[in-house]
Amino acid sequence: MWGGAARPVVLVGQKVLKGQLLAQSQVHISAPIHAPVSGRVTAIGEVTAPHPSGLGLAAITVESDDTDRWIETDPVADPFALAPEEIARRTAAAGVVGLGGATFPAAVKFALGKRLAVHTLIVNGGECEPYLSSDDRIMRDFAEQVVEGARIIMHAIGARDALVGIEDNKPEAMAAMAVAAAAFPEVKIRPVPARYPMGSDKQLIETLTGKEVPADARAAEVGVLVHNVSTCAAVYKAIRLGQPLVERIVTINGAAVAEPGNIFAPLGCLVDDLLAYCGLKEVPARLILGGPMMGTLLLHGRVPLVKGASGILAFTAAEAAVPEAGPCIRCGSCTRACPMGLLPLEMAAHIRAGDLDGAVGYSLSDCISCGCCAYVCPSHIPLVQYFSHARGELSARERARLRTEAGKRLAEARLARLERDAREKAEVAARRKAERTAAKARSGTVKPEEETT
Amino acid sequence: MWIAVLSLTFLGLALGTLLGVAARYLAVEENPLEAELQALLPGSQCGQCGFVGCAQAAAALARGEAAATLCPPGGRAVAEAIAARLGIKIDLSAVQDDGPLLAFVAEEICTGCCRCSKVCPTDAIIGAAKQIHNVIREACTGCGACVERCPTEAIGLLPVPVTVPHWIWPKPAIT
């Protein structure tokens, strides 16, 4: 879930231009960060993370000089003349990650698609969640960018066709995309039913291709790769314009917002600033980064916008009200609602009793945390919250196990070293002793000789 | 009826004898439980349980001479695992578990005596004589063996700080 942290390559006080590299990725699953504005680096330290814990996260603060001067970019006139590896390299260098919410580095996915011989690219235009309309807006206003980005990705992974799944409640987006893709028969526009969670890759793949992604397998293993429409547009900008990912479209919505809408916001700007831009009717009772179903709860708005945030929701107390949970009446509503075909009530009962392994036995690892079960539960049991807790607990357990194992290996290595040291010492001592006795014996034998002579 | 009584008696005698013979001649030398228990223990041989090492502690556990809660660095997780393996119920409230710990060196009072690095079961402390020592966090198991050896009390244990990727949602509290 968390990639490796990028390492800063700028110094405090340094002047930077828009699009200049601020931090370089260090490991495979990681993405570089570029300056979203031109200005001066004022701090390299910690800021509050856009995370329900409210803990700190490493960050570089850039103060804008309000000129928005771009660094010199390296546009490519014909991306289809580039080698697929070169496209992956440029995409990685531009810091493009999945903008649907998972923020998985796009270039890593390209390499995966190439390795597993993916034949179909699926472009995800099935809006992730209710309240959000950023994907819709991108398809309506930047359809050419999305289609060209999708074609560049197809070239990068060697896919033969692309299926653009658009929910059937977005006729304008579908029309705009159909016009943009008219010249490219390999890019097919497909309507999909507008039913949450259609924006989830596994559900979209099944709807479009009829193939089910096996448990514990990646989508690439059934020959498809999914990229969000915003990611396609970002790939277009990264390759054709040479611009790194420094801004993203974000939906500002919720009943507390005076003028809800979609805006292109520079990454790293404060959530409070974006809300102030759209205006607030009242102090929001709850702030969420992302969608209402799977988004991240924010403790306050003084947190930066991150690459994976498709929305900022400011809810009034009426919208955010959580009814009190009652006992499970075993109605099975959650089972019918679960898009993964799991038994949420059984999993939650096991987790509640502290039996995490029991929940794993009910395929807890296949849960996509969509929240459908908790939404439909007539007893308002926080089902998905139980699963989030259990997943965290299980990964903590796994980390502890790995740590214990590493400790065991180190302890064994130390014992082996101590034994070897002791043996070597003993050998040296034995050799010295042997030498001494030999010398003594020699002097003993020499002496009689001396006597004889 | 007598046929049934006799045949069952005979069966009982024959199988009982067979089992008795088997128990004598096919006896397992080492208790396999010991190896399993040893695998559950942290294996850093820190000696905080009062035994020389984890193997001895596992043997005592297998014989039923030690409590399942004997391992302080293992904390609740290890105590639970041991209790599950031994099939016993334990009172976990008595186990002190502050979560994982890490050793740290207060650099201003470290004299570089090298005593801590010699006792560290996982070689997690580096530093030469008369130089400030330091702890390799990735290798430290938080067993605390170094804390007692330090003549200047420069070493202590601190809980591992919670970071964003390692944060866990609390369990929903409902009635």
pLDDT grade for B95, boundaries at 50, 70 and 90: low
Distance to chain A for B167, nearest Cα, Å = 7
Q: Does B48 touch chain A (CB under 8 A)?
A: no
Q: What is the pLDDT of residue B40?
A: 86
Domain with residues A1-72, CATH architecture = Beta Barrel (2.40)
What is the rounded average pLDDT of the residues A430-452? 77
Query: pLDDT tens digits, residue range B119-151?
Result: 888 889 998 989 999 999 888 888 888 888 899
**With an 8 Å Cβ cutoff, are A392 and B163 in contact?**
no
In the DSSP assignment, the letter for residue A28 is: S
Q: Which residues of B are annotated as a binding site?
A: 46, 49, 54, 71, 110, 113, 116, 120, 140, 143, 146, 150
Q: What is the pLDDT of residue B94?
A: 65
Query: pLDDT tens digits, residue range A376-398?
Result: 999 999 999 999 999 999 998 88
Distance to chain A for B169, nearest Cα, Å = 5
In chain A, what are the domain boundaries? 1-72, 75-240, 248-320, 333-394
Max intra-chain CA distance, chain A = 120
CA-closest candidate to residue A126, choices A190, A180, A175: A190
What is the rounded average pLDDT of the residues A311-327? 91
Strand partners, A70: A18
Query: pLDDT tens digits, residue range B16-56?
Result: 999 999 988 887 777 788 888 888 888 878 888 888 888 88
Q: What is the CATH number of domain A75-240?
A: 3.40.50.11540
pLDDT grade for A341, boundaries at 50, 70 and 90: very high
Q: Domain A248-320 falls in which CATH fold?
A: Ubiquitin-like (UB roll) (3.10.20)
Chain B segment 100-129 residues within 8 A of A by beta carbon are: 100, 121-124
CA distances from A107 to A4, A23, A399, B23 (A): 15, 17, 27, 63
Q: Percent of chain B beyond pLDDT 70?
A: 95
Which of the residues B141, B146, B174, B175 would you substitute to probe the A interface, choosing the one with the greatest number of A C-beta atoms within 10 Å?
Answer: B174
For A101, half-sphere exposure in the C-beta direction (CA atoms, 13 angstrom radius) is 26
Q: What is the pLDDT of residue B98?
A: 66
Which residues in chain A are closer than 8 Å to B169, comparing Cβ atoms? 52, 385, 388-389, 392
Query: pLDDT tens digits, residue range A268-318?
Result: 999 999 999 999 999 999 999 999 999 999 999 999 999 999 999 999 999
CA-closest candidate to residue A269, choices A254, A289, A283, A286: A289
Q: Set out the domains of chain B in order of their start, with CATH numbers.
A: 32-94 (1.10.15), 101-160 (3.30.70.20)
CB A53, CB B162: distance < 8 Å = yes
3-state SS, residue A336: helix
Query: pLDDT tens digits, residue range A37-90?
Result: 999 999 999 999 999 998 998 999 999 999 989 999 989 989 999 999 999 999
Q: Does this complex have an ipTM over 0.90? A: no
Phi, psi (5° rounding) for residue A320? -90, 0
Q: Do domains A1-72 and A75-240 have the same CATH topology?
A: no
Which residues in chain B are closer than 8 Å to A347, comparing Cβ atoms? none
CB contact set of A414 (below 8 Å; sequence gap of 6+): B121, B122, B123
**With an 8 Å Cβ cutoff, are B168 and A393 in contact?**
yes
Q: Which residues of B are annotated as a binding site for [4Fe-4S] cluster?
A: 46, 49, 54, 71, 110, 113, 116, 120, 140, 143, 146, 150
A210-A213-A219 Cα angle (round to 5): 105
Strand partners, B155: B105
Strand order in the sheet with A296-298: A261-266, A247-253, A311-315, A286-289, A296-298
DSSP characters for B121-136?
TT--EE--TTS--EE-
pLDDT grade for B96, boundaries at 50, 70 and 90: low
**With an 8 Å Cβ cutoff, are A381 and B174 in contact?**
yes
